[in-house]
């Protein structure tokens, strides 16, 4: 016999016959997991059909090798037999199989423990969907309320920040974000200048590239790009940090100490972003404008002096302040959605991943919505 | 007037959604008790602990701390009530971004006016008490599971709380450390007058330290025995309890 055939073994066989009140199950061949094993359904069907049967016996004289494959099959048979109240006489089985079967049936299955996978009716799904939605909404609103209260407590001096933690967070959300913010804002400045110059050259109004870049950066793109970078960088990392703490019961440990996780974890993160976002925004503005400067001076025959004068003459302080105000709001949005998703995180590795993803998505959606509101407001107020 | 007992549990029912885990739990933990919560794996011991320490609200029933109902109090008061407690979680739950010393220092920084140097000394002392002297500057991920357990214990003891909750303190420890831990628990009770609630499976420590207990049963979904474990062993008629307290030996004899 060659090795392949040896490994494949003899096909597993099963047959049933009835002798008065005894059902006999004959097992033959090799019953190992790597074979194509017959399911228990055939035997279960026979058992269900056999009305007169009281006992179930086994004949294993032709049985070869066996492993868990045989045991799962026997458990299926066992269950079917129990349903019909047929007693099982396991003495025909090999010693080892008998012992393992006894172990597997020693602890009764926990009632209601198995997950029900059947689909609920449509109305029930709509109902539970609605309940889940309103629960999630109330959770979010509660969190927002708690975060606001915590911020107020800080402002009125009734909550305090731990210096060391805050410094670290400020460093992570500030200094460490500088390179990527620089890269992106220079590129955005370049792009604005390029696209604008093509149009403006048609009117011979290249000099207005400086206006376009400066006003575009200070009013919109500086705050926006910094916020989107920080949502992907810092918001996701807050969600993952807090989510992992949730998984490890670290947040529970804080609660049992009577330490409010909002004050302890969320507040310093909010403060770090509230402090750093305006600085990042200014930094992005300056680098974006210098990106435009490179294009203007390098490609459009504008002298550095002209570009500078044009920029200074047209950017108003209000444009700057508007961008900075936005960036503070965006910072709060990023910190809150990151921490909210982290705190809501379930207790598994997959849940941490989902929390990070959903923190970024939530933050970006709300950043864009808030930016839209700002656009409408500034239009009405004429800022 | 007599002091009300530190913890009284009345008709507590615990459930996850519609799945009821345990119902009608009623017991009292007296001052100075070492109170054992025992029962088979998965019967709801850790969940009971979460109800006692304010992390999961009961489906029905009350938990009283010195006469005050925990779950009927507003959140501020709950926090106040629980400030006098220390908890060791089943999986340690150390703050993974802090060193062991900082883990123990955190509650001290929150609730005392000690100087940084004093706090460091106290943290070192607590770590030494659980056999972890010299590990002050290690992070939780740099020590073994059993050591994390002991560090969690040190953190639970940081503020010398009046009530301590330990979830399987000796799981994952070698027999000698486990014995030392029992001695430490007795010492905490005797010298600091702490009341201690311990979830444990370990028969040796159940008999060595416990003076009161409840036995949760997964099948009947309620408590089926309570009292001093030594007396329980001698007197109980319930086969499940007997089997548990004798490591299944009584069942083996019976068959
Ligand atoms: N979040 C949850 N949702 C649903 N069921 C849960 C949840 N957490 C725990 N359970 C169930 O509650 C039961 C009790 O869990 P618990 O952790 O309290 O057990 P235990 O008695 O502490 O066990 P062990 O001694 O093994 O630690 C388990 O059967 C588990 O399936
Ligand atoms: Mg447990």
Looking up residue A83, the CATH number of its domain turns out to be 3.30.750.24
Is the minimum CB–CB distance between B98 and chain A shorter than 8 Å?
no
Give a yes or no: residue B11 inside a domain: yes
Min Cα–Cα distance to chain B from A161, Å: 11
| Span B14-24, average pLDDT | 90
For residue B6, the tally of other CB atoms under 10 A from its CB is 23
A36-40, A75-79, A92-96: segment of lowest average pLDDT: A36-40
Pocket lining: B43 vs ligand 1, CB cutoff 6 Å: yes
Helix A122-155 to helix A267-299 angle (10° resolution) is: 90
What is the chain B residue with the closest CA to A249? B93
Residues A200 and A249 in one domain: yes
Domain end, chosen from B135, B160, B185, is at: B160
Looking up residue B197, the CATH number of its domain turns out to be 3.40.50.300
| Span A187-196, average pLDDT | 93
Residues B184 and B59 in one domain: yes
**pLDDT score for A14:** 85
Q: Do B219 and A257 touch (CB under 8 A)?
A: no
Pocket lining: B46 vs ligand 1, CB cutoff 6 Å: yes
What is the three-class DSSP state of B96? Answer: coil
Cα B43 to averaged position of ligand 1 atoms, centre (Å)? 7
Is the model's pLDDT at B191 over the cut of 90? no
Is the model's pLDDT at B81 over the cut of 90? no
**Contact A4/A40 with Cβ under 8 angstroms?**
no
Give a yes or no: residue A317 inside a domain: yes
Which pair of structure tokens corresponds to residue B138? 């290690």
Pocket lining: B21 vs ligand 1, CB cutoff 6 Å: yes
Which pair of structure tokens corresponds to residue A233? 């960088």
Q: What is the dihedral of CA B165, B167, B169, B171, to 10 degrees?
A: 170
pLDDT digits 0-9 by tens, A252-278: 999 888 888 998 999 999 999 999 999
Portion 15-34 of B in contact with A at CB < 8 A: 19
Nearest-angstrom CA–CA distance, B211 and B230: 8
Cα A349 to averaged position of ligand 1 atoms, centre (Å)? 19
Residues A58 and A140 in one domain: no
Residues B116 and B143 in one domain: yes
Nearest-angstrom CA–CA distance, A64 and A23: 22
- pLDDT band at residue B255 using 50, 70 and 90 as cut-offs: very low
Partners of A55 in the β-ladder: A22, A87
Residues A250 and A292 in one domain: yes
Parent domain of B147 = 94-160
Nearest-angstrom CA–CA distance, A146 and A104: 50
| Span B223-237, average pLDDT | 90
Length, in residues, of chain B: 255
What is the chain A residue with the closest CA to B104? A257
pLDDT digits 0-9 by tens, A301-348: 889 999 999 999 988 999 999 999 999 999 999 999 999 999 999 989
Query: Cα B233–B236–B237 angle (5° rounding)?
Result: 140
Q: Name which residue sits closest to atom 25 of ligand 1, judged by CA.
A: B41
**pLDDT score for A34:** 81
Give kind and range of the element (H or E) at residue B127. Answer: helix B116-129
Is the model's pLDDT at A2 over the cut of 50? no
Nearest-angstrom CA–CA distance, A12 and A254: 57
| Span A196-225, average pLDDT | 91
Give a yes or no: residue A172 inside a domain: yes
Mean confidence (pLDDT) of chain B: 89
Is the model's pLDDT at B130 over the cut of 70? yes
Is the minimum CB–CB distance between A260 and chain B shorter than 8 Å?
yes
Domain count of chain A? 2
Nearest-angstrom CA–CA distance, B39 and B194: 24
Give a yes or no: residue A98 inside a domain: yes
Which pair of structure tokens corresponds to residue A50? 């056999």
- pLDDT band at residue A78 using 50, 70 and 90 as cut-offs: confident
Ligand 1 mutation pick, B14, B47, B206, B214, max ligand atoms within 8 A of CB = B47
Residues A178 and A78 in one domain: no
Q: Do B93 and A259 touch (CB under 8 A)?
A: no
Interface test with A, best of B18, B73, B77, B87 (most A CBs within 10 A): B87
Give a yes or no: residue A66 inside a domain: yes
Domain count of chain B? 2
Q: Specify the ligand 1 atom closest to the Cα of B47.
A: 18
Q: Do B55 and A252 touch (CB under 8 A)?
A: yes
Show Cβ contacts of residue A153 under 8 Å, excluding neighbours closer than 6 positions. A159, A263
**Contact A359/A252 with Cβ under 8 angstroms?**
no
**Cα end-to-end distance, chain A, whole Å:** 91
> From the centroid of its chain, how far is CA A6?
48
Q: Which chain A positions have a beta carbon within 8 Å of B110's beta carbon?
A: 257-259
Query: Cα A64–A69–A74 angle (5° rounding)?
Result: 90
Q: Do B87 and A256 touch (CB under 8 A)?
A: yes
| Span A123-152, average pLDDT | 90
Pick B168 or A2 by higher pLDDT: B168
Domain end, chosen from A88, A104, A120, is at: A104
Q: Name which residue sits closest to atom 5 of ligand 1, judged by CA.
A: B16
Give a yes or no: residue A70 inside a domain: yes
Residues B190 and B226 in one domain: yes
Residues A236 and A354 in one domain: yes
Q: Specify the ligand 1 atom closest to the Cα of A113.
A: 31
For residue B156, the tally of other CB atoms under 10 A from its CB is 27
Q: Is A64 exposed, middle or buried (0-12, 13-18, 19+ CB in 10 A)?
A: middle
Is the minimum CB–CB distance between A116 and chain B shorter than 8 Å?
no
Is the minimum CB–CB distance between B80 and chain A shorter than 8 Å?
yes
Residues B73 and B190 in one domain: yes
Which pair of structure tokens corresponds to residue B85? 């407690």
Min Cα–Cα distance to chain B from A348, Å: 14
Is the minimum CB–CB distance between B79 and chain A shorter than 8 Å?
yes
Query: Cα A272–A366–A321 angle (5° rounding)?
Result: 60
Report the predicted TM-score, pTM, of the whole model to 2 decimal places: 0.81
**Contact B225/B232 with Cβ under 8 angstroms?**
yes
Size of interface A-B (CB pairs under 8 A): 51
| Span B166-183, average pLDDT | 88
H helices present in chain A, as ranges: 3-8, 41-49, 68-83, 95-104, 122-155, 163-173, 178-201, 209-215, 222-230, 236-247, 250-256, 261, 267-299, 304-314, 317-343, 349-381
Which pair of structure tokens corresponds to residue A63? 């049985």
Give a yes or no: residue B89 inside a domain: no
- pLDDT band at residue A4 using 50, 70 and 90 as cut-offs: very low
Residues B151 and B169 in one domain: no
Cα A179 to averaged position of ligand 2 atoms, centre (Å)? 47
**β B222-226/B212-217 pair status:** antiparallel
Give a yes or no: residue B234 inside a domain: yes
Is the minimum CB–CB distance between A255 and chain B shorter than 8 Å?
yes
**pLDDT score for A1:** 38
Residues A94 and A152 in one domain: no
Is the model's pLDDT at A159 over the cut of 90? no
Residues B80 and B142 in one domain: no
Is the minimum CB–CB distance between A299 and chain B shorter than 8 Å?
no
Residues B80 and B171 in one domain: yes
Is the minimum CB–CB distance between B247 and chain A shorter than 8 Å?
no
> From the centroid of its chain, how far is CA B175?
19
Q: What percent of chain A has pLDDT above 70? A: 95
Domain end, chosen from B160, B185, B208, is at: B160
Nearest-angstrom CA–CA distance, B218 and B226: 15
Which pair of structure tokens corresponds to residue B190? 């005797």
Give a yes or no: residue A125 inside a domain: no
Predicted complex ipTM: 0.86
Residues B227 and B107 in one domain: no
Residues A41 and A182 in one domain: no
Give a yes or no: residue B254 inside a domain: no
Residues A89 and A220 in one domain: no
Q: Name which residue sits closest to atom 26 of ligand 1, judged by CA.
A: B41
Residues B199 and B209 in one domain: yes
Q: Which chain A positions have a beta carbon within 8 Å of B79's beta carbon?
A: 258, 260
Mean confidence (pLDDT) of chain A: 88
Parent domain of A327 = 135-381
Cα A118 to averaged position of ligand 2 atoms, centre (Å)? 30
Residue with token string 């961008």: A323
Which pair of structure tokens corresponds to residue A322? 């508007």
> From the centroid of its chain, how far is CA B220?
23
Q: Which chain A positions have a beta carbon within 8 Å of B19's beta carbon?
A: 112
pLDDT digits 0-9 by tens, B95-104: 998 999 999 9
Is the model's pLDDT at B196 over the cut of 90? yes
pLDDT digits 0-9 by tens, A103-136: 888 776 666 656 656 678 888 889 989 998 998 8
- pLDDT band at residue A84 using 50, 70 and 90 as cut-offs: confident
**pLDDT score for A62:** 86
**Contact A248/B93 with Cβ under 8 angstroms?**
yes
Min Cα–Cα distance to chain B from A148, Å: 17
Nearest to A57 by CA among A28, A24, A20, A80: A24
Cα A307 to averaged position of ligand 1 atoms, centre (Å)? 69
Nearest-angstrom CA–CA distance, A370 and A256: 37
- pLDDT band at residue B249 using 50, 70 and 90 as cut-offs: confident
Partners of A15 in the β-ladder: A26
């Amino acid at each position: 016999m060659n090795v392949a055939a040896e490994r494949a073994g003899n096909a597993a066989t099963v047959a049933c016959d009835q002798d008065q009140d005894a059902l006999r199950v004959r097992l033959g061949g090799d019953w190992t997991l790597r074979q194509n094993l017959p399911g228990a359904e055939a035997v279960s069907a026979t058992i269900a059909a056999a009305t007169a049967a009281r006992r179930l016996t086994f004949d294993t004289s032709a049985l070869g090798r066996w492993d868990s494959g045989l045991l799962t099959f026997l458990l299926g048979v066992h269950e079917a037999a129990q349903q019909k109240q047929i007693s099982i006489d396991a003495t025909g089985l090999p010693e080892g199989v008998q012992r393992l079967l006894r172990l597997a049936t020693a602890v009764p299955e926990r009632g209601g423990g198995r997950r029900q996978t059947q689909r609920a009716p449509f109305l029930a799904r709509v109902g539970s969907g609605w309940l889940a939605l309103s629960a999630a909404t109330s959770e979010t609103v509660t969190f927002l309320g708690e975060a606001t209260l915590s911020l107020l407590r800080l402002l009125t001096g009734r909550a305090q920040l731990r210096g060391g933690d805050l410094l670290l967070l400020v460093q992570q959300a500030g200094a460490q974000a500088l390179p990527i913010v620089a890269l992106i804002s220079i590129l955005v400045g370049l792009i604005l200048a390029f696209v604008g110059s093509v149009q403006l050259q048609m009117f011979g109004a290249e000099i207005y590239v400086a206006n376009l870049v400066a006003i575009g950066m200070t009013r919109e793109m500086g705050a926006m790009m910094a916020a989107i970078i920080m949502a992907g960088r810092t918001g996701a990392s807050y969600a993952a940090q807090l989510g992992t703490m949730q998984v490890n019961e670290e947040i529970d440990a804080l609660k049992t100490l009577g330490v409010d996780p909002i004050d302890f974890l969320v507040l310093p993160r909010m403060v770090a972003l509230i402090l750093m976002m305006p600085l990042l925004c200014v930094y992005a503005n300056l680098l974006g404008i210098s990106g435009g400067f490179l294009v203007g001076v390098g490609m459009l025959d504008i002298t550095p002096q002209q570009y500078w004068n044009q920029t200074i003459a047209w950017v108003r302080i209000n444009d700057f302040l508007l961008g900075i105000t936005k960036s503070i709001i965006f910072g709060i949005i990023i910190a809150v959605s990151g921490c909210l998703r982290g705190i809501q995180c379930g207790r598994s590795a997959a849940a941490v991943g989902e929390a990070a993803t959903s923190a970024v998505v939530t933050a970006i959606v709300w950043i864009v919505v808030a930016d839209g509101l700002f656009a409408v407001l500034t239009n009405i107020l004429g800022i | 007037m007599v002091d009300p007992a530190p913890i009284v549990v009345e008709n507590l029912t615990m459930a996850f959604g519609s799945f009821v885990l345990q119902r009608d739990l009623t017991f009292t933990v007296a001052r100075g008790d070492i109170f054992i919560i025992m029962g088979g794996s998965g019967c709801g011991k850790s969940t009971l602990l979460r109800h006692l320490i304010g992390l999961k609200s009961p489906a029905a029933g009350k938990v009283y701390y010195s006469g005050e109902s925990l779950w009927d109090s507003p959140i501020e008061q709950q926090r106040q009530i629980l400030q006098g407690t220390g908890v060791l979680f089943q999986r340690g739950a150390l703050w993974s971004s802090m060193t062991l010393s900082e883990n123990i220092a955190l509650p001290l920084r929150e609730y005392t006016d000690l100087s940084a140097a004093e706090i460091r000394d106290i943290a070192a002392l607590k770590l030494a008490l659980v056999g972890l002297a010299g590990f002050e500057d290690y992070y939780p991920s740099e020590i073994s599971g059993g050591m994390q357990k002991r560090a969690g214990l040190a953190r639970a003891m940081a503020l010398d709380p009046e009530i301590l909750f330990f979830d399987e303190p000796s799981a994952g420890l070698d027999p000698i450390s486990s014995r030392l831990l029992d001695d430490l628990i007795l010492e905490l009770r005797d010298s600091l007058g702490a009341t201690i609630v311990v979830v444990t499976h370990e028969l040796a420590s159940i008999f060595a330290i416990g003076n009161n207990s409840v036995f949760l049963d997964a099948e009947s979904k309620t408590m089926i025995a309570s009292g001093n474990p030594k007396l329980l062993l001698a007197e109980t008629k319930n086969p499940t309890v007997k089997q548990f307290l004798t490591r299944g030996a009584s069942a083996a004899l019976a068959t």
